[in-house]
Amino acid sequence: MTDARDTGLTLDPKYDRDGLITAVVTDARSGEVLMVAHMNGQALALTVETRLAHFWSRSRQSLWKKGETSGHMLEVCDIRIDCDQDAVWVKAIPAGPTCHTGARSCFFRRVGSEGLSPVDAAD
């Protein structure tokens, strides 16, 4: 059974008990997954308003604008919310590496039977 949240056109995010929803960020041009983070209501509102990605840092317990110190901001092109409104998909143009390690994407390692291995830039 579906309800208005599932099929309607009213934004009604279903935040978890900590007041957060999952945010998946992809490169708007290539479709590559860049990062996964969390947003609270303020981060989502600022992202919609400024078209720059904002998140909630669970480790620092604070709001942060991606790239504020590094300059590697994420210019938002599109924001989508899933069917039950507990996750968002942000399509963005990165101004540089997305990962705090300096990698283009936070997903730069592959999991295999032998453990972790690096992902080639072409993969």
Query: Please, which residues have CB within 8 angstroms of residue 117's CB and are 6 or more apart in sequence?
Result: 109, 110
Q: Extract the annotated binding site for Mg(2+).
A: 82, 84, 86
Q: Is residue 83 included in any domain, yes or no?
A: yes
Q: Is residue 123 included in any domain, yes or no?
A: no
Whether pTM > 0.85 for this model: the answer is yes
Q: Is residue 68 included in any domain, yes or no?
A: yes
List b or e across 15-44, with b for residues whose CB sees 16 or more CB atoms inside 10 angstroms: eeeeebbebbbbbbeeeeebbebbbbeebb
Q: Extract the annotated binding site.
A: 82-84, 86, 99, 106
Query: How many structural domains is the chain composed of?
Result: 1
Q: Extract the annotated binding site for Zn(2+).
A: 83, 99, 106
Domain CATH for 103 = 3.10.20.810
pLDDT surpassing 70 at residue 2: no
Query: What is the rounded CA–CA span in Å between residue 50 and residue 67?
Result: 14
Q: Are 117 and 109 in contact (CB under 8 A)?
A: yes
**Structure confidence by residue, pLDDT tens digits, 6-60:** 888 989 999 999 999 999 999 999 999 999 999 999 999 999 999 999 999 999 9
Q: Which domain holds residue 69?
A: 4-118
